[in-house]
Amino acid sequence: MIPVTKPFLPNREKLDKYIDGIYEREWLTNNGPLVQELTKRLEEYLGVENLLLVSNGTLALQIAYRALGIHESKSAKVAEAITTPFTFVATASSLKWEGIEPIFADIDPETWCLNPQGIEQKITEQTVAIVPVHVYGNACDVEAIEALARRQNLKVIYDAAHAFGVKYKGESILRWGDAATLSFHATKVFHSIEGGAIVFKHREDMERAKRLMSFGMTGPETISDVGINAKMNEFQAAMGLCVLDEIDENIKARERHWYRYQNELTSSAILQRLNNVSDYNFAYFPVLFRSKEELLHVSSGLADKGIIARRYFYPSLNELEIFGADLTLPISSGIAERILCLPIYAGLDANDVNSIIDIVKRLTSTYKEMQ
């Protein structure tokens, strides 16, 4: 079987040395030395400041909302944040969990990221923030979004779960917005088994977040905020340090597969238009088919050969009952029902990539003949 993704497992001997150190120190959590080391090394690698490690990517979003105060409405009504329906559910559910109503705007039909023009149409007196997503690691139109946010006095929190290492005009994409969050889940390009990070524009926001993620405590007997526990532990940091040592080789391996797919499948499916002033980390290889029926034909044919592709993201979140399911967003809904992510990970064999390409080409060809 070929899975859609596979966690990158770094050198075992190096990981064992880190774990030996944990056992010697008996310091397992609460900002241990490995968490401190990983923080410093990630800031250097990514080219950012004010990076805060947390226990997972969903809590990264929730802590960012709280630290920036967007859970507080401008009026007596519930606070609202405009976001995309074409994303993993945590983007919207984290808002809902914090008492913020996610308001969905439609996406660009080619980049699949939040359309800045659609954002402006959704702004009301309750709007406190914009939460765009760099979909599949493809950079949003950050300049248009930031200009809009400044005009409307809104906070911007980027869900950059897929955008580890991505640069926009030569600088980290994580520098945009009041905050940007990362997921270090096991399936991501960079991971710490579970984990995540927040990059803040302003240091004072990071300092507030530090308190919030540790029960709101400022000392052994001092509590200044209503907080939560979102701390990364030393074992997560050990894995992160090992993965970081091999991150460039990991991305290069994915890059080879990505370009092989791109070169061979441009006539068989529709591909995402990437931001032309941004680079890419080859996190995913999504393909868009011309109909839901064609997608199901290809997906079923791949599964018959033991190849697992994923309908990621499906369904479009505006169609879910938990978010109201009363909003028509034709671009997101149309793309969500026709999208399929093909297998891509560092350990994927080149021959398997060729087999996947051949099967997709054959299945799309036979589907056309049936029409």
- In sequence order, what are the residues at sequence separation of 6 or more whose Cβ sits closer than 8 angstroms to the Cβ of residue 149? 130, 155, 156
Candidates 6, 77, 96, 188; catalytic one: 188
State residue 92 phi and psi, 5-degree precision. -85, -40
Cβ burial 83-105 (10 Å sphere, 16+ → b, else e):
bbbbbbebbbbbbeebebbbbbb
Query: What sections of the chain are H helices per DSSP?
Result: 12-25, 33-46, 57-67, 90-97, 116-122, 142-152, 203-212, 234-245, 247-265, 292-304, 330-336, 350-370
Strand (E) positions, 132-233? 155-159, 167-168, 171-172, 179-183, 196-200, 217-219, 222-223
List, edge to edge, every strand of the sheet that includes 80-83: 51-54, 196-200, 179-183, 155-159, 127-131, 80-83, 101-104
Cβ-based burial of 66 (10 A; exposed 0-12, middle 13-18, buried ≥19): buried
Active site residue 188: yes
Residue with tokens 């009952």: 321
Catalytic residues: 188
